[in-house]
Structure 1
Amino acid sequence: MPRTIIVGLDGSPESRAAADWAAREAELRGLPVKLVQVWEPIPEPMAQAPLLGSETHQRWTGRGETDVPRAEGWGRIPHEAAEGLRLRHPGVEVTTERLTGSPAETLIEAAEDAELLVLGSRGLSGLGGFLVGSVGHAVVAHTERPVVLVRAGEQAADEKETDGAGTPSAGTAAGPVVLGLDIARPDEALLEFAFDAAARRNVPLHVVHAWNPPPYYAYGMALEPAVEREMAKGDVVVLSEVLRPWREKHPGVKVVELSHYGSPSLLLIDASHEASLVVVGRRIRRSAVGAHLGIVTQAVLHHAVAPVAVVAHA
């Protein structure tokens, strides 16, 4: 049974953009799409509060006289979104599911057997990047399936020119897939996801690696140019060795290696302006400290201007 691409749908422009992105991805992968809408009931003490009027009570609890969920278009939102996707992407199988519970926990559970989980994320007004809400942050930090964040109002590099029907023009050059890679701890799941994404889109893969001098140089010790050149040369060699077997596995993917001195976050954010997708990793932690997002991933999620895929790995 094929995996499904799951979309968290709440009716917002961001979640509708996520659904469209998921449908395009489903066309590339030959997979179905499931739109999942999660309704979170009001806590019982609040539901029983006498100060809530009947209209407010129905809006918060999503229940009317017939005891049927109706919170803000409960049934209409996924139905209309699914119909729109079927019209725009007739080759994609689209289904819907409505679930009850905590949005983050429910989406994490729904994504357990999914190929991808796609969420909408609000764009920062006047700035590049995303405003990642509490639900999106919790889902990205805890699910072990790849999560893609998409925002409304921003088009990926491969969608900036359309044919009038909302689809990319045939002559429009697609943006590269950008991968942020730590060569000290390269992970196969992360590399496979990025190479596969580039291959399916028939676009180059830009692998971004940033390096910094040892910590003691931060305490007033200047880095000599000759030392800097040798350190940079060493990282370039390591990066090429890490990528060599993946080039052989995906010979059709053009790989551009970008190894630079500086902040990996800033380099990835800068590269996102021309990217069709940015791919970063999240290390799975099963300790008392709990799950978390690394500094680089956190920065990219909030400031990249292209869709961002976060791949959990060991």
Structure 2
Amino acid sequence: MDIRTIVVGVDGSPASDTAVDWGAAEAERRGVPLEVLHTLAAHSLAAAPAGGAPPLIDDDEHEDVLDAAAARARRSFPGISVIARSETRDPASALIDRSTGAELVVVGSHGKGLLARFLLGSVSHRVSSHALCPAVVVHRNVGAAGLPVAVGVDGSPGSRAAVLLAVEEAQMRKVPLVVVHGWQPAPVSGFDALPVPQEVIDAQHDVALSVVDDAIAVARAAAPGLEVTSVVAPMGPVLALDSESENVQLLVVGAHGHRGLSGAAFGSVTSAVVDGAQCPVMVAPAPAG
């Protein structure tokens, strides 16, 4: 039987080092190999001079980045198996392809320099949207080991997939699960918007509670002994999830959902949370079908 690996995209930046540390810890926790993946195309594009001149970053530095990442993982977690892999193409495509047989794919939240930061942002969004396994974007604050796992819910099939994944992560870490739902209590349609009747706001709140109750039921059915709490926040989903990310070690969201009470597609929520959360964000792959 093939052994599934944890694949970490590396580029030599401090954020990449944080991703390697997080991925190595997960490899040890799960008893699987760690694969560090570096693509020459990422550096060549970020450092290419104008006029068709050769890129400023050569193959030697490419190998140095890869070797340093592998050595860092082995030094921090001597018991894990580390595989170093290099490819000459764009990092998002390489990571998405590797996700086919991976346990997780992991990237840091920022790369080297302004252009690389832009490129890596694009990488994290593409990988989160298209990976066939859970994708993790690691932020600087990795969260204490004893903190809970949180999951954002909106009642969609993608939200249900996120709940089931979050249950697995909470059980693995032996910590509680927090179900989080943000709802916008009053729609805004301009300066001339009419006041929203209290009964409409109350009805919206009832729907929000129902979404959370359904998610809790799914979690408890999957793991009857798991401690599950909830946060129902009268604010937009991005603000609710970003706020909760300060108090948890991992935030799980779905790759896709539907338009909810806030009127925002869950995919756009996921994109904003991937960029702005304080802790690592794990994106559950979209359900098949």
**Structure 2 length as normaliser, TM-score?**
0.81
Alignment root-mean-square deviation, CA = 3.1
Answer whether contact 1:183 1:209 (CA < 8 A) is retained.
no
The aligned residue for residue 107 of structure 2 is 119
The aligned residue for residue 37 of structure 1 is 38
Q: Which amino acid aligns with 1:282?
A: A
Q: Which amino acid aligns with 1:122?
A: H
The aligned residue for residue 142 of structure 2 is 156
Query: Using the alignment, how far apart are the partners of 1:234 and 1:35 within structure 2?
Result: 44
The aligned residue for residue 14 of structure 1 is 15
Match of 1:177 among 141, 144, 149: 149
Deviation at 1:214, TM superposition (A): 7.8
Deviation at 1:196, TM superposition (A): 0.9
Q: Deviations over 1:256-306 (max 9, x none)?
A: 12223220111111111111111111129xxxxxxx982211221221111
SS in 2 for 1:243: helix
Q: Deviations over 1:114-173 (max 9, x none)?
A: 1110001129xxxxxx9752333332233232211113xx332316xxxxxxxxxxxxxx
Query: Using the alignment, how far apart are the partners of 1:146 and 1:302 within structure 2?
Result: 17
Bigger mean CA deviation after superposition, 7-16 or 75-84:
75-84
Answer whether contact 1:217 1:223 (CA < 8 A) is retained.
no
Query: Using the alignment, how far apart are the partners of 2:55 and 2:141 within structure 1?
Result: 37
The aligned residue for residue 114 of structure 2 is none
Deviation at 1:178, TM superposition (A): 1.5
Deviation at 1:110, TM superposition (A): 1.9
SS in 2 for 1:157: coil
The aligned residue for residue 165 of structure 2 is 193
The aligned residue for residue 66 of structure 1 is none
Query: Using the alignment, how far apart are the partners of 2:239 and 2:44 within structure 1?
Result: 41
Deviation at 1:111, TM superposition (A): 2.0
SS in 1 for 2:35: strand
For structure 1, list consecutive stretches of 5 or more residues without a partner in the other structure: 63-68, 124-129, 160-173, 285-291
Question: Is residue 147 from structure 1 mapped to residue 120 from structure 2 by the alignment?
Answer: no
**Structure 1 length as normaliser, TM-score?**
0.75
Match of 2:227 among 239, 254, 257: 254
Change (3 A) 1:215 1:228: closer
The aligned residue for residue 77 of structure 1 is 65
Change (3 A) 1:58 1:179: closer
Answer whether contact 2:180 2:212 (CA < 8 A) is retained.
no
The aligned residue for residue 84 of structure 2 is 96
Answer whether contact 1:199 1:252 (CA < 8 A) is retained.
no
Query: Using the alignment, how far apart are the partners of 1:265 and 1:177 within structure 2?
Result: 17
The aligned residue for residue 287 of structure 1 is none
The aligned residue for residue 274 of structure 1 is 247
The aligned residue for residue 208 of structure 1 is 180
Deviation at 1:213, TM superposition (A): 5.2
Query: Using the alignment, how far apart are the partners of 1:216 and 1:39 within structure 2?
Result: 47
Q: Which amino acid aligns with 2:73?
A: L
Query: Using the alignment, how far apart are the partners of 1:252 and 1:11 within structure 2?
Result: 42
Q: Which amino acid aligns with 2:168?
A: D
The aligned residue for residue 261 of structure 2 is none
Deviation at 1:184, TM superposition (A): 4.6
Change (3 A) 1:10 1:270: same
SS in 2 for 1:111: helix
Q: Which amino acid aligns with 1:233?
A: D
For structure 2, list consecutive stretches of 5 or more residues without a partner in the other structure: 112-116, 258-264
Deviation at 1:185, TM superposition (A): 4.2
Query: Using the alignment, how far apart are the partners of 2:38 and 2:136 within structure 1?
Result: 17
Answer whether contact 1:5 1:33 (CA < 8 A) is retained.
yes
Look at both structures and tell me which one has the larger radius of gyration over its CA atoms.
1
Question: Is residue 228 from structure 1 mapped to residue 228 from structure 2 by the alignment?
Answer: no
Query: Using the alignment, how far apart are the partners of 1:252 and 1:28 within structure 2?
Result: 21
Deviation at 1:209, TM superposition (A): 1.2
Deviation at 1:228, TM superposition (A): 3.0
The total of aligned residue pairs comes to: 269
Answer whether contact 2:251 2:280 (CA < 8 A) is retained.
yes
Change (3 A) 1:9 1:293: farther
Answer whether contact 1:190 1:313 (CA < 8 A) is retained.
no
SS in 1 for 2:255: strand
Query: Using the alignment, how far apart are the partners of 2:225 and 2:272 within structure 1?
Result: 31
Question: Is residue 297 from structure 1 mapped to residue 270 from structure 2 by the alignment?
Answer: yes
